[in-house]
Amino acid sequence: MSTYETVKGTFDLLPPQAERIVAVREAMAAPLRRAGYGYVETPTFEATALFKRGVGESTDIVTKEMFSWTTQGGDEVTLRPEGTASTLRAVLQANMPRAGLPIKVYYSGSYYRYEKPQKGRYRHFSQVGGEAIGAEDPALDVELIVLADDAFKDLGLRNYRILLNSLGDKECRPVYRAKLQEFLRGLDLDEETRARIEINPLRVLDDKRDSVQKQLVDAPLMIDNLCDTCRAYHEEVRTLLTEAGVAFVDDPKLVRGLDYYTRTTFEFVHDGLGSQSAIGGGGRYDGLSEELGGPSLPSVGWALGVDRTALALEAEGVELSGVEPLSVFAVPLGDEARRRLFDLVTTLRRTNIAADFAYGNKGIKAAMKAADRSGARYALVLGERDIAENVIQIKELATGEQESVPLADILTIIQEKLK
């Protein structure tokens, strides 16, 4: 036991669960790579102002959940609570738009929010995100939704829904905002929620409390107040999704938790996770580049929750491969056998055959127990008599069948047995 433990709201990833998490990350990234998205990686912490400006000062993330501090040099910095603002900052800083648009990138990493710890909601969490920067095209919105849908299906996930909405743009949203504020001011709400009405009234629609939701039954909806341009854009998104064979549910109250979203907004929810049902989501953020001091770059993106997706897979009973299963476990008996088998194991690995070795000078009984625990298909046993006779013993661990084969031919024999 260590004197120290993980900080509240955090956790360690250890085998075999860690390998399943890696498998989820890789499955999420694979469709993006196939669609031409390049990998980006940004620092774990950024200037605090980036998130206040990008995520929005009215959000719970900025007001309650950021891990922020002042460095020894006096800089105000924050552990990244999400990936879009950092990614867009990196794209703008590197002047990537000059190479052509759209810029299609993806990221994978850990993010940090001061949450109330519970299953599926931690203070550090893992996401894979995809961003298409610099193009206003419904097909790009749909591409990303399809890629996320493909990732979940490739993992074997089935019991999830895609919620879809439009949040309008700078032309129609201000009119709707005023209408919604007028409605909300007439409700029986606590002071904190009433303050939110004046800052970002759309966030009130996302309030999960029953006492609030019951009062929102007759609230005006953005979908009913879209301008002609936004309405046509949204209908094109819906049409393209339908033609792509992707099922979705229209959710006129879907607003997500970040201020930068415009027009297309979507969320992936899983019914097997309780209150923390969102396993991913995103939308269009056409004005964020300008908020960060850059040029006009209409963009769209999403982030998928790795940890919650792993929980969703567990809820559905979906097994992930995790660690690559061993094919061979080498059991040496004597110093010369150790040298020869270690060289063989290295050669096997270099030919993409998963192999391990009985380390620690174990006796034959302890070494064979280790071979059984390893899950390998075959054990290779080599002793002094075998070396003298130029043979090696190969044992199929599932059946116990064992045979003696020429030592010089063992690599070819193993490769043939594994075909």
User: Out of 39-43, 113-117, 307-311, 402-406, which region has the weakest mean confidence (pLDDT)?
Assistant: 113-117
CATH class of 328-418: alpha beta
Query: Residue 246 has what pLDDT?
Result: 97
Q: Amino acid identity, residue 102?
A: P
Q: Identify the pLDDT of residue 214.
A: 93
How does pLDDT run across 326-369, given as a tens digit for each residue? 999 999 999 999 999 999 999 999 999 999 999 998 899 999 99
Q: Given this model, what pLDDT does residue 135 score?
A: 97
pLDDT in tens, 102-132: 999 999 999 999 988 888 789 999 999 999 9
What is the model's pLDDT at position 323? 65
Instruction: Report the percentage of the chain scoring pLDDT > 70.
Output: 98
**pTM for the complete prediction?**
0.89
In this prediction, residues 308-316 reach a mean pLDDT of 94
Which letter does DSSP use for residue 121 in this model? B
276/119 Cα distance (integer angstroms)? 8
CA distances from 78 to 125, 256, 306 (A): 15, 22, 22
* pLDDT, tens digit (0-9, with 9 covering 90-100), for 256-290: 766 778 999 999 999 888 777 899 999 999 999 99
Amino acid 324: pLDDT: 73
Q: What was the pLDDT predicted at 94?
A: 97
Q: What is the mean pLDDT of the chain?
A: 93
pLDDT of 58 reads 66
Question: In what helix (H) or strand (E) does residue 20 lie, and over which residues does it extend?
Answer: helix 17-34
Predicted pLDDT of residue 69: 96
pLDDT at residue 321, rounded to an integer: 65
Q: Give the CA distances from residue 3 to residues 12, 115, 222, 419, in Å, rounded to whole numbers and listed in that order.
A: 16, 25, 54, 48
pLDDT tens digits, residue range 35-76? 999 999 999 999 999 998 888 766 778 878 999 999 999 999
Convert the pLDDT of each residue in 233-260 to its tens digit: 999 999 999 999 999 999 998 987 667 7
pLDDT at 325 over 70: yes
**pLDDT per residue as tens digits for the range 193-225:** 898 888 888 888 888 899 999 999 999 999 999
* E runs forming strands in 56-206: 68-70, 76-79, 103-112, 124-133, 160-166
Residue in 74, 41, 79 with CA at minimum distance from that of residue 62: 79
Q: What spatial distance separates the first Cα and last Cα of the chain, rounded to whole Å?
A: 44
Which one is predicted more confidently, 325 or 391? Answer: 391
Tell me what pLDDT residue 256 has.
76
CATH topology for the 17-172+226-315 domain: BirA Bifunctional Protein; domain 2 (3.30.930)
- Burial of 200: CB neighbours in 10 Å, binned 0-12, 13-18, 19+: middle
* Structural domain spans, the chain: 17-172+226-315, 173-218, 328-418
